[in-house]
Amino acid sequence: MMPIRYLTIHCAATIEGRDHKAAEVTRWDVARFGQPSYHWVVELDGSAVRTLADATRGAHVGGHNTGNIGICYVGGLGRDAKPKDTRTALQRKSLRELVESYRRKYPGLIVRGHRDWSPDLDRDGKIEPHEWVKACPCFDVATEL
Interface with Zn ion, residue 126, by CB under 5 A: no
Find the binding residues for Zn ion in span 4-23 (CB under 5 A). Answer: 10
Interface with Zn ion, residue 115, by CB under 5 A: no
Interface with Zn ion, residue 114, by CB under 5 A: yes
Whichever of 31 and 107 has its CB closer to Zn ion, that residue is 31
Which among 22-30, 31-39, 84-92, 132-140 is the span making contact with Zn ion, rule CB under 5 A? 132-140
Q: Considering the complex, what minimum distance in angstroms separates the CB of residue 107 from Zn ion?
A: 25
Cross-strand bridge partners of residue 10? 72
Q: Which residues bind Zn ion (CB under 5 A)?
A: 10, 114, 136
